[in-house]
Structure 1
Amino acid sequence: MGISRKGLNACAAIFAIMGFAGAGWAQSVAGAEEYTRACASCHGLTGHGDGPLAEYMSIPVPDVTQIRARNNGVFPMLEVIHLVDGRSGLRGHGGPMPIWGDRFEAAVASEMGDVGTEIAVRGRVLALATYLEAIQQ
């Protein structure tokens, strides 16, 4: 009995996440790539809320380099993960921010099966949140 493609993909996702956990450099690269793809159009390449779509938003786009400063010097990792993921029921910025957990899930669901998809989504969200922590000023 062999391992299915979904099983192999789930295993690959697990090893990728484990690699991210042990390799800060790889995680920051993955997080920077996620940020560029998912966030920079509104928050700007440097995170200051000045992306090309920011002027079209109905509410001001926050400077994500100031999250720690707005939280008394502490980066609220779990809160950031919940805002990015969106699947916890919390919504970033009062509503207009996309629910990246759902979008990430839709991007990989057909390839990885339920477990692999969940691992991949959580890894992408964690990489992004870790990157946001790294760019705090």
Structure 2
Amino acid sequence: MRIRSMFLVSLTAVPLSLSIGASQALADGAGEFMRSCAVCHGADGRSNTSFSDLLTVAPPNLTTLAANNDGVFPMLEVIQMIDGRTGLRGHGSEMPIWGDRYQGEADMAGQYGAELIVRGRVLELAEYIASIQE
């Protein structure tokens, strides 16, 4: 009976820890967005900044990505755009390749650990962008 109780408690704890992890990832994504993306895309993601006028290719309004895709958020395309290492270049090559930047910051984790860190950070950012859809 004790083992069964422990099993049931662990089944309850897993979704709770995942929801806490998801909310932390969203908070981390929001912070990263403010540090790295808001200068071009605006704090609200609508790309209404004075800096965006200086770019040769206007950054898109990130709050309408789902609306412009038949109501479905294009998660894979957003991840590839943020990462930039797949050959898909953002905004006509003007957008920085965040995957390379994150890779350089995570190199201390070794080749495979760094890649996991990079993918996690890109996903956190993409999840945040998904959360600001109108």
TM-score tier, shorter chain, comes to 0.7 to 0.9
Rounded to whole Å, the distance in 2 between the matches of 1:45 and 1:24 is 21
Rounded to whole Å, the distance in 2 between the matches of 1:90 and 1:47 is 21
Spell out structure 1 runs of 4+ moving beyond 3 A.
19-22
- Normalising by structure 1, we get a TM-score of 0.80
Rounded to whole Å, the distance in 1 between the matches of 2:19 and 2:111 is 21
Which sections of structure 2, spanning at least 5 residues, go unmatched? 1-16
Rounded to whole Å, the distance in 2 between the matches of 1:57 and 1:21 is 38
Match of 1:130 in 2: 127
The SS at the match of 1:123 is: helix
Q: Structure 1 residue 105: deviation in Å?
A: 0.7
Rounded to whole Å, the distance in 2 between the matches of 1:52 and 1:80 is 24
- The 3 A distance-change label for structure 1 pair 20 and 46 is farther
Match of 1:94 in 2: 92
Amino acid at match of 1:133: A
Q: Structure 1 residue 52: deviation in Å?
A: 4.4
* Structure 1 position 113 matched with structure 2 position 110: yes
Rounded to whole Å, the distance in 1 between the matches of 2:112 and 2:123 is 16
Which sections of structure 1, spanning at least 5 residues, go unmatched? 1-18
Q: CA RMSD in A?
A: 1.6
- The 3 A distance-change label for structure 1 pair 21 and 129 is farther
Q: Report if the CA contact (8 A) 1:64-1:132 is conserved.
A: yes
Q: Deviations over 1:24-49 (max 9, x none)?
A: 21111011011111101100100010
Q: Which has the higher contact order (CA 8 A, sep 6+)?
A: 1
Rounded to whole Å, the distance in 1 between the matches of 2:37 and 2:50 is 11
Q: Number of matched residues?
A: 118
Rounded to whole Å, the distance in 1 between the matches of 2:19 and 2:50 is 32
Rounded to whole Å, the distance in 2 between the matches of 1:87 and 1:37 is 20
Rounded to whole Å, the distance in 2 between the matches of 1:63 and 1:50 is 8
Rounded to whole Å, the distance in 1 between the matches of 2:106 and 2:38 is 21
Identity %: 45
Listed as ranges, the matches of 1:19-98 within 5 Å are: 23-98=21-96
Rounded to whole Å, the distance in 2 between the matches of 1:46 and 1:26 is 19
Amino acid at match of 1:125: V
